Amino acid sequence: MKSLIPWRKLGLLVAGLSLGVTVLYSDSTPVQAQEFHNMIARRILDLQQSSERWIQIDLTSQRLIAWEGNKAVYAVIVSTGKPSTPTRVGNFRVQTKYRSTRMTGPGYDVPDVPYTMYYDGGMAIHGAYWHNMFGTPVSHGCTNVAVDHARWLFEWASVGTPVVVHK
């Protein structure tokens, strides 16, 4: 029985260390999330203090606002990513623009997607002619806009225009 006591103490030590590491990492997650939120908030403040054109996508309200500095110049209801394919939060820039393009992925193949502006890898702001569910997250991660609104945004924005996506 005495030979088991050192092993039991070692087991308690390992369990204690594991618990400590778990607590340490679980406490850092809110801190990291807060820092990320602060980074987005700082970017919005910086853009509002400029005269630069920029796009804000609010995932909670399902709204897109086009800004020139601190002046909102255009606002529309959008449809962003559904829970299984969410729209990523962060600070981006329009990378490429296509008047029309084909979009494919798991479970979809959509030809002639109008007024597409890619800002985060495969994520884009674009016109959606295949649904009228704006205000509801139903996309595969992109920001869907009614075609007439997508056209306005496409003509207003240029490659390099900042895009801020937040909750």
Residue with tokens 């029309």: 100
Give the H or E element holding residue 63. strand 63-68
Residue 92 CB-half CA count within 13 A: 24
Does the structure show a pLDDT above 50 at 20? Answer: no
Averaged pLDDT of the chain: 87
Alpha-carbon distance of 138 to 24, in angstroms, equals 36
Give the H or E element holding residue 71. strand 71-77
> pLDDT category, 30, cuts 50, 70, 90?
low
The answer to whether the beta carbons of residues 111 and 46 sit under 8 Å apart is no
- Say what the pLDDT of residue 104 is: 94
pLDDT in tens, 117-145: 999 999 999 999 999 999 999 999 999 99
- Name the β-bridge partners of 114: 100
Largest CA distance in the chain: 80
pLDDT in tens, 60-112: 999 999 999 999 999 999 999 999 999 999 999 999 999 999 999 988 999 99
Residue with tokens 């920029």: 54
